[in-house]
Structure 1
Amino acid sequence: MYTLTKFVCLFLPLLLMSSCSNSEDPDYPTVASSIFNDVLIEVLDSEGNSLIDNEAIMNGLSFIGRDGYKIPFHTVEIGDEKIIRTVFPLPMESSMSYSDDRKEGYGESNLTVNVNGFKFNLRGKFHYTCTYPNMYGGNGIKIIEIHSNNPNVSISEDANFLKITIKIASD
């Protein structure tokens, strides 16, 4: 019985380890010691009035990153204006292109904004800088551009943040 128990204790871990697969995607978001990917978003009706106080609009609002991941957001007040603040997803390591010395790099990622059945696709461009490429730390990644082909989306810079303005037809 002792030999059988010993055999099971050795065989079971080997069986479990052999069932593991290395076929998973090794791609992961780019990492840096300082990350600047915050964005401001305002949602306006066709006449330019803010819809952030509209409960139906806010309940139907979502931000989607890679693989359908929902990105959290919150409302902030800047002066007397209410605006949405969230983060743009970081680019995946596979989308990054680096300089030969790996001190600089660029990458892109996507964000989908859903507002009550309206879908807006955005593409963000990031810039990576590193002072010490052979060490951890001393590096940063920052969103530098956002693009959309939708004519109802405009992008501007507001107080060192990229600001996305989305116009939708309200009921």
Structure 2
Amino acid sequence: MLTLRPFAPSDYPLLASWFTSLPDVVQWGGSHVPYPITHAALDVMLQEGQSQPPSRRCWMVYRGDTPVGHAQLAYDWRDGNARLGRVVIAPGERGQGLGRPMVTLLIDEAFRTPGIERLELNVYTFNERAIHLYKTLGFTFEGVRRSSTQAGDARWDTGMMGLLRTEWQAAAAPHAG
């Protein structure tokens, strides 16, 4: 069973250790996150959670007492949207089937939040395993921003996916009760 724990400065060294190259960091956090990841960059992410309402919330994902992942939700309160992002499973924990329960926790968290009607995410189009996982959880592939991100000398296409609260509720209804 996985649980979410608020991300804290004490988690910075562990999270940063999961990334060994600029492309790793860009795939996780986008082209604006520096490599190596700095405490200042992580401080900014946490500070975004201090506003009321928060513009971003960050978690470490635990299996028992072991940190196995990290994920974030960013919020557009005016339009009722949340963006799932910066999802990563610890290198030593990959391939153990943690992606589905981890993302499910974040979807539940997003839709437990009053006023959030849409959850969206960006995923690089070469990340076929992630795209498959998101589709099996009900996300719809909505389009591609071609050559939208630079990672060193490479340019990557970004896929956009979305899930509506009503779609998530309908998928969960057969399992309720």
TM bracket, shorter-chain basis:
0.3 to 0.5
More helix by share: 2
**TM-score w.r.t. length of structure 1:** 0.32
Instruction: Considering Cα pairs closer than 8 Å and 6+ residues apart, tell me whether 1 or 2 has the greater RCO.
Output: 1
More strand by share: 1
- Asked which structure has the greater CA Rg, the reply is 1
**TM-score w.r.t. length of structure 2:** 0.32
